[in-house]
A and B are shown apart, each in its own frame.
Chain A
């Protein structure tokens, strides 16, 4: 490994760890938020940072100002007509987007806090939805208008729209800055700061160690518990491989980093230097994940043993047996997948899923089995026996406080996020998105190409990275959603489920898959082409479902909010509405 590779690896580690740690913190926040929602109280939102007024204004001003200046700067340069056309298109759409979004925010602000000038008074009676619909109309109008711009006129159009976009950005930034109220600004970020505040609190809390505990092991356990949760992220591919052209010296150096190739062929082949967006591209791939994640058990076991508490001991024992048992089913549930993908490398899996169908379509049974086993591995409801708070109080981390406890918690939530990432990598296409190929968008069923749009290598990579992280966030959110309704298993029922149901099913799935894969591979080209069409249909299904989900989300957001009061009234209000009661004379 030479220096440039080292630097790149450090960068990748920063990206992946930064993402997972933040997602874990957000997961804690979402969990607590939902807990608060079901309990009808305000969630965690007391953590607050008071920003000095100048700083707040700067934060509001800086991004739009930067974007505005950048846009004007870009508009000044000379580009080819084709690129100019694209740029004009993006400029128009961005201008419309920024305009309606800002107007929407302004409208809501005015309606909540009151207008401060004549201009704002106009917004007092406007339905925010009309702004959104107006924006949508303008988007469509912009698309249509760009059809009339010829290639000759494109540079001028790009320049004008660039200036307009820059102007809009600057205007929005300046006006928003002027709207920042006087005095210091409390920054709450919807309560997400609470996770940070909790971390700071945990660092300064007393580190309690029971009197007869094994001090060394007691301190070691949280580290062992958090270690696998962090290191397993190394083999996750989070985007298309980057491809750099060689600058002629046949050695991968810093100079090559500037030569990102403009486009790669559909096969994704790279003639120069390939940089996988994956911290370590290991041959063993997923086996590394199994190997590492199973060491997490040791942390729980040691914590349970070293705490000198019988509840902890029971928790540690439960954690051990549960994780060991489910590891088997988890591994076997995936063997079918390996047969289909013909690889254990996560990068290859993502490529296969991009070219064919997502794992959840080719291995639905394997998916369900793996999901169950994964829930058990991450020790979340209904598999949270190791900490089952009504039975063994808090299980293996009962005797932990302060930052050691925090490490267990961070490890647990990291594991949850990583489990989501693993689900995405194995079953939800990894970083690949439907119909997005290394050379661009191509909607095709079998050999029939319906629509094709070439994209640059950089664009495809950015889309794939965003796609991966977006999917992980979605799946994590679903995992958080599981909680609060399911009762937990009993310990022996859990074991029975693992050994007598999941394991045989996983083996059956494996054997069935082996037969089907063998049959499909030796069936000949006709069957292969049919399978390809089926795979493309599955991709189309995902695309349609995603679009439908997005539309449903927008429609849901646009619906008038009608807060249903659960109680018809309290007795006092009921009485008041009825004209008062207790009119009769009382007995003492």
Chain B
């Protein structure tokens, strides 16, 4: 009898196969916000990935054009709901740039301290959520507890824990509370201790390192081409930080380092975040030392800043001033401006156009996550399904920012 495979070619021996399409999301445990990734799989390997972000759409920019300039603050809160304070300040700075005013020094320090606290929250939650999705639940809880310390401060300062809407054009809604500095000084070391503890659990764990190292690598050039900013860009080795490159507020007086990665993989992004938490703590320490204890918080301009409430009820001037600002809005001179700050995920830019009325003519936001999420497809192509989880996690995609 003849051998059976005599006439068969090697190529014919393979069974026909076609890639499997898999919808990851929009409702999936690892897809924060409602994102859908349509995967084309060969086994567990990802041949093609199509990242679709449109499931969370509120028409945020259009909504901003409906109210006065001050009424935009609650909307920007909900862009990056993990660190709303940074968005508040970013937007306030943009409007102030158009108005040509600078807030008093005390307010600038106040904004810096609050902003850096928010940044710590942002980074902790990102790192913690990534660990949780990898299966390690405990570090996430450590970080969540550390965040609790910071949120207590926010609660005390702003009255809200998550979305504060605390920024105002020309200042802040409230001056720092009496024990602001004490609270921050008490909380930050505690937070750092918790961060170190959570880190200890992870960085000595071979499994965790194996999941991160060499996964989701992004080249420097590609990152720049995609418009990445912030941590994800710095992890690729580009030391671009708005706070250093184009200092705003009082960041030029602060002594801090910008952590930069080498390979741009998940591990670098994780480590950059961890280091940036420590740098933020450094900034907070310096800002608290330099921040004056007295002095005005808001600019002294009746056309911009609301009068104190007790005066509104007692004097006619203040009543009229209050009425004008609330009903007509702050009159921002006609023109346009682009103002950008370093938010939790990178450069948060506001492009504002004013027609001279009390309502913004156009509010265009340049959220860092929108650009970052573009790169996801490139990162996970060729990887495996489990790699989507830490890669997506380490990009810290915030659904609210991708609302375009």
By a beta-carbon cutoff of 8 Å, the part of chain A in contact with chain B is 35, 38-40, 310-311, 314, 318, 381-382, 384-385, 388-393, 484-493, 566-572, 574-575, 578, 581-588
Among candidates B131, B168, B386, residue contacting A388 with C-beta atoms closer than 8 Å: B386
Cβ contacts B67-81/A at 8 Å (1 or 0 each): 000000000000000
Task: Say which one of B177-185, B227-235, B332-340, B350-358 lies at the interface with A.
Answer: B177-185
B305 in contact with A587 (CB, 8 Å): yes
Cβ of B208 < 8 Å from any Cβ of A?
Answer: yes
B306 is an interface residue with CB less than 8 A from chain A? yes
Judging by beta carbons under 8 Å apart, are B307 and A588 in contact? yes
User: Which B206-220 residues have C-beta < 8 A from chain A?
Assistant: 207-208, 210-211
Q: Which residues of A contact B205 (CB under 8 A)?
A: 486-487
Is B136's beta carbon under 8 Å from chain A?
A: yes
**Is B264 an interface residue when CB atoms closer than 8 A count as contact?**
no
User: What residues of chain A lie closer than 8 Å to B201, measured between beta carbons?
Assistant: 485
Instruction: For the complex, give the distance between the alpha carbons of A139 and B266 in Å.
Output: 61
A588 contacts across to B, CB distance below 8 A: 306-309, 312, 322
B210 and A493: CB pair below 8 A?
Answer: yes
Contact at A587–B306, with CB atoms within 8 Å?
A: yes
B298: chain A residues at CB < 8 Å are: 587
How far does the Cβ of A289 sit from chain B's closest Cβ, in whole Å?
28
- In this assembly, does B17 line the interface, its C-beta being within 8 Å of a C-beta of chain A? no
A contact residues around B384 at 8 Å (CB) = 490-492
Q: Is the CB of B207 within 8 A of A489?
A: yes
CB distance from B197 to the nearest CB of A (A): 12
Residue from the list B20, B173, B182, B388 in contact with A587, Cβ < 8 A: B173
Q: Which residues of chain A have C-beta atoms less than 8 A from B148's C-beta?
A: 567
Q: B340-373 CB contact bits vs A (8 Å, 1 = yes)?
A: 0000000000000000000000000000000000
Partner of A487, one of B22, B134, B152, B153: B134
A310 near B20: Cβ-Cβ < 8 Å: yes
Cβ–Cβ contact B22 & A310, under 8 A: yes
A and B contact pairs by CB, cutoff 8 A, 13 listed: A311-B22, A314-B22, A314-B44, A318-B44, A393-B29, A491-B384, A491-B386, A493-B211, A568-B186, A570-B152, A586-B174, A587-B297, A587-B309
B156 at the interface (CB under 8 A from A): yes
Across-interface contacts of A585 in B (CB, < 8 A): 308-310
A587 near B387 (CB under 8 angstroms)?
A: no
Contact of B29 among A40, A390, A487 (CB under 8 A): A390
Instruction: Name which residue of chain A comes closest to B388, CB basis.
Output: A391
Is the CB of B59 closer than 8 A to any CB of chain A? no
**Contact B305 A487, beta carbon cutoff 8 Å:** no
Tell me, yes or no, whether B55 is within 8 Å of chain A by CB: no
- Report the bound CA distance from A411 to B385 in whole Å: 27
B156 pairs with A586, CB closer than 8 A: no
**Chain A residue at minimum C-beta to C-beta distance from B161:** A571
Contact A571:B155 (CB < 8 A) given known A310-B20, A566-B145: yes
Given A314-B44, A571-B183, CB of A586 within 8 Å of CB of B134: no
A575 touches B179 (CB 8 A): yes
Assess the A489–B30 pair: CB atoms within 8 A.
Answer: no
Contact A393 B28 (CB under 8 A): yes
Tell me the complex Cα distance, A489–B208, Å. 8
Which residues from A are CB-within-8-Å of B44?
314, 318, 491-492
In the complex formed, the residue of B with least CB distance to A580 is B178
B285-315 interface (Cβ within 8 A of A): 297-298, 305-310, 312
Q: Is the CB of A587 within 8 A of B174?
A: yes
* Residues B136 and A485 in contact, CB atoms below 8 Å apart: yes
The residue in chain A whose Cβ has the minimal distance to the Cβ of B183 is A574
Q: Are B179 and A38 in contact (CB under 8 A)?
A: no
Instruction: Indicate if the CB atoms of A391 and B30 lie closer than 8 Å.
Output: yes
Assess whether A587 is in contact with B308, with CB atoms less than 8 Å apart.
Answer: yes
Cβ–Cβ < 8 Å partners of B149 in chain A: 567
Asked whether, in the complex, the Cβ of B135 is within 8 Å of the Cβ of A381, the reply is: yes
B389 contacts the other chain (CB 8 A): yes
Question: Which of A38, A572, A574 gathers the greatest number of chain B CB atoms within 10 Å?
Answer: A574
Q: How far is the CA of A393 from the CA of B25 in the complex (A)?
A: 10
Is the Cβ of B386 less than 8 Å from the Cβ of A581? no
B145 with A39: CB separation less than 8 A: no
Interface set, chain B 168-196, CB cutoff 8 A to A: 168, 171, 173-175, 177-179, 182-183, 186, 190
Known pairs A491-B386, A570-B152, A588-B312; A390 contacts B133 (CB<8 A): yes
Q: Within 8 Å CB of B133, what residues of A?
A: 390
Residues on B with beta carbons closer than 8 Å to the beta carbon of A582: 174, 177-178
* A586 contacts across to B, CB distance below 8 A: 174, 308-309
Q: Please name the residue on chain A nearest to B194 by beta carbon.
A: A566
Contacts A385-B386, A484-B136, A572-B156 supplied; 11 other A-B pairs, CB < 8 Å = A39-B141, A485-B137, A486-B207, A487-B131, A487-B202, A487-B208, A490-B210, A491-B44, A492-B44, A571-B152, A574-B179
